[in-house]
Amino acid sequence: MDSSPAGTPSPQPPRANGNINLGPSANPNARPTDFDFLKVIGKGNYGKVLLAKHKSDGMFYAVKVLQKKSILKKKEQSHIMAERSVLLKNVRHPFLVGLRYSFQTPEKLYFVLDYVNGGELFFHLQRERRFLEPRARFYAAEVASAIGYLHSLNIIYRDLKPENILLDCQGHVVLTDFGLCKEGVEPEETTSTFCGTPEYLAPEVLRKEPYDRAVDWWCLGAVLYEMLHGLPPFYSQDVSQMYENILHQPLRIPGGRTVAACDLLQALLHKDQRQRLGSKTDFLEIKSHVFFSPINWDDLYHKRLTPPFNPNVAGPADLKHFDPEFTQEAVSKSIGCTPDTMASSSGASSAFLGFSYAPDDDAILDC
């Protein structure tokens, strides 16, 4: 599930001393000791995501804690700053996780995010194997709305998969993890970095051809297929065989699905990106497909549609939809250390200039 480098965001932010600089630190007073770190709820290449309770106001957050040393070793500072940049643009969309603020210590970076405890879509798919069409349609519509919003900001997401789709406590979709996003891609422009997750890579990415935002609609098709059938469309345990399947094998759709569902899957999983649904007018084409005719998109956006599944969580401390592999892991004491108790990593502080962020008081949303 590892992803390759996504490239430097474009347009590029101003730089200071050769390092990415998004402006002065706007949140200089935040520190790890502001929180009680309660449980590990996720893990990634460079750190962990923890359930944390703010000591002063009692609010619960998901805090993504990243190790600067690991990021610098792999020269992926630009990914982290791109993720921060995209997160700052998510505040106005209901199906994208929100960044409350961010801060850093000499050794670590901290993203303070909306806490979402309905579970990963991947977790629910593993448990239930597949979803009925109405449930899959609801999730696909909310995801498409989020992707369409990112595209409207000239951002390609590039890593859509069930692990990055969370459910909130009511059952609505929350898209997360923006480390592979590519910013500044105009509608007619392309990019070429090889990145993503093997099961969901579009053919043009595998062919190492220039690609555009249509890669995200391929991924939507792959995720919808998996929701309906239990596995990604061209899946094989042999990755090289899976790549061969993606490139050359015709799409096989098992029986029992409606004509509309089959047609949408064929249209999203078209191997020619120029013929793929969404390649011309983007999200408008997705919205107009007959599969989504039961969806009132305005009601969907404003969360007036009742989700088909209620996670039934008892409160923030209810972690039944998180993998025990994470929640049973001990929380490292170093995560809550204050900056002055930690040795400064050489060059680490200057490499993430402008990472810290705090919104205006009136921009903070209620949980």
Q: Which of the four pLDDT bands, split at 50, 70 and 90, describes residue 2?
A: very low
**Which of 34-43, 259-268, 322-331, 341-350 has maximum average pLDDT?**
259-268
Q: Is the pLDDT of residue 366 over 90?
A: no
* Angle ∠(335,339,344) on CA atoms, nearest 5: 100
pLDDT at 23: 32
Q: Which of 114, 159, 177, 212 is catalytic?
A: 159
Whole-Å CA distances, 97 to 62, 80, 109, 125, 199: 10, 16, 18, 21, 24
Give the residue, 196 or 282, on which the prediction is more confident: 282
Does 74 show up as a binding residue in the annotation? no
Distance CA 234, CA 244 (A): 9
Category of 136 on φ-ψ map: left (φ > 0), alpha (ψ -120 to 50) or beta? alpha
**Inter-axis angle of helices 214-229 and 133-152, to 10 degrees?**
160
pLDDT at 28: 57
Give the residue, 90 or 165, on which the prediction is more confident: 165
SS3 of residue 240 by DSSP: helix
pLDDT at 338: 64
Of all residues in the chain, what percent carry a pLDDT higher than 70? 85
Q: Which of the four pLDDT bands, split at 50, 70 and 90, describes residue 6?
A: very low
Q: Where are the domains of the chain?
A: 15-117+314-360, 121-301
**Taking residues 184-209, what's their average pLDDT?**
92
Q: Which of the four pLDDT bands, split at 50, 70 and 90, describes residue 355?
A: confident
Category of 177 on φ-ψ map: left (φ > 0), alpha (ψ -120 to 50) or beta? left
Query: Of the ranges 5-9, 161-165, 219-223, which one carries the lowest mean pLDDT score?
Result: 5-9
pLDDT at 85: 87
**Taking residues 331-336, what's their average pLDDT?**
80
Q: Are 67 and 81 in contact (CB under 8 A)?
A: no
Render pLDDT for 276-299 as a digit per residue (tens, 0 to 9): 999 999 999 999 999 999 999 999
List, in sequence order, every residue forming a beta bridge with 341; answer none if it has no partner. Answer: none
Distance CA 64, CA 108 (A): 10
Q: Is the pLDDT of residue 77 over 60?
A: yes
Of all helices (H) and strands (E), which one includes residue 311?
none
The chain-wide mean pLDDT, for the chain, equals 85
Q: Is the pLDDT of residue 1 over 50?
A: no
Distance CA 204, CA 126 (A): 29
CA atoms within 13 A on the CB side of 309: 22
DSSP of 184-200: ---TT--B----S-GGG
pLDDT at 46: 77
Distance CA 13, CA 355 (A): 12
159 in catalytic set:
yes
Query: Encoding tokens for residue 35?
Result: 């929180």
The type of residue at 358 is: A
**Taking residues 253-269, what's their average pLDDT?**
95
pLDDT at 149: 96
Give the residue, 351 or 352, on which the prediction is more confident: 352
Q: Strands of the chain (E only): list them.
A: 15-16, 19-20, 35-43, 47-54, 60-67, 99-104, 108-113, 165-167, 173-175
Query: Of the ranges 43-47, 186-190, 307-311, which one carries the lowest mean pLDDT score?
Result: 43-47
pLDDT at 13: 31
Q: Nearest to residue 88, comparing CAs of 309, 357, 334, 328?
A: 357
**For residue 319, how far is the Cα from the chain centroid?**
20
What contacts 49, CB < 8 A, 6 or more positions away? 40, 41, 42, 43, 62, 63, 64, 65, 113
Give the residue, 265 or 106, on which the prediction is more confident: 265
pLDDT at 349: 56
Give the residue, 11 or 287, on which the prediction is more confident: 287
Distance CA 109, CA 65 (A): 6
At the top level of CATH, the class of 121-301 is: mainly alpha
pLDDT at 350: 61
Query: Of the ranges 26-30, 186-190, 223-227, 238-242, which one carries the lowest mean pLDDT score?
Result: 26-30
Of all residues in the chain, what percent carry a pLDDT higher than 90? 61
pLDDT at 26: 43
Render pLDDT for 301-331 as a digit per residue (tens, 0 to 9): 999 999 999 999 998 889 999 888 888 888 8
**Taking residues 199-228, what's their average pLDDT?**
97
pLDDT at 78: 83
What kind of architecture, by CATH, is found in domain 15-117+314-360?
A: 2-Layer Sandwich (3.30)
Render pLDDT for 90-148 as a digit per residue (tens, 0 to 9): 667 999 998 998 998 888 999 999 999 999 999 999 999 999 999 999 999 999 999 99
